[in-house]
Amino acid sequence: MVYVTRREVFSASHRLTNPELSDEENNAVYDKCNYQYGHGHNYILEVIVAGEINPKTGYVIDLKKLKKIVREKVISKVDHHHFNFDIDFMKGIIPTVENIAIGIWKLLENEISEGKLYSVKLYETENNYAEYKGE
Ligand code: NI
């Protein structure tokens, strides 16, 4: 089994807030991330595909194909958008880095043409990231 990774970057805004909590509770839980107009991040996304090497091509998946899939299915929907307002797949979901990683997994899991989606790793800052492997 070999693991290949496509890395993409995108910029997007979010506000961490739970509509079921009071303003005071939201402030206590999310602090600055609860700021009413939201704030932006430069996200780094790593999509890892696992599979056997195809002896004809030497590839697990042609990384040009993986790039196209990730850009079409994910980046086009999130880059320069706001997770709380105009990103369909996050509707009604608190846009933490954990939940966004799961949302991206769901967008990609049935789109990988060769090999299998193994992991979605999403960096929100240099030091904070979430990784989802489908369970
Ligand atoms: Ni944030």
pLDDT tens by residue, 86-121: 999 999 999 999 999 999 999 999 999 899 999 999
Strands (E), 15-115: 39-51, 81-82
Tell me the CA–centroid distance for residue 51 and ligand 1, in Å: 34
pLDDT at 96: 98
Mean pLDDT across the stretch 65-78? 98
Mean pLDDT of 56-73: 98
What pLDDT is attached to residue 21? 97
Kindly state the tokens that stand for 76.
Answer: 């086009």
pLDDT 10s digits, 17-49: 999 999 999 999 999 999 999 999 999 999 999
What pLDDT sits at residue 33?
Answer: 95
pLDDT band at 2 (very low <50, low <70, confident <90, very high): very high
For residue 34, the CA-to-ligand 1 centroid distance in Å is: 9
What's the CA-to-centroid distance between 20 and ligand 1, angstroms?
A: 19
**Domains within the chain, CATH numbers bracketed:** 2-132 (3.30.479.10)
Distance, CA 1 to ligand 1 centroid (Å)?
35
Band of residue 65 on the pLDDT scale cut at 50, 70, 90 = very high
Distance in angstroms (rounded) separating the CA atoms of residues 9 and 45: 6
Whether 74 and 104 have beta carbons less than 8 Å apart is answered as yes
- Active-site positions read 33, 80, 124
Distance, first Cα to last Cα, the chain: 20
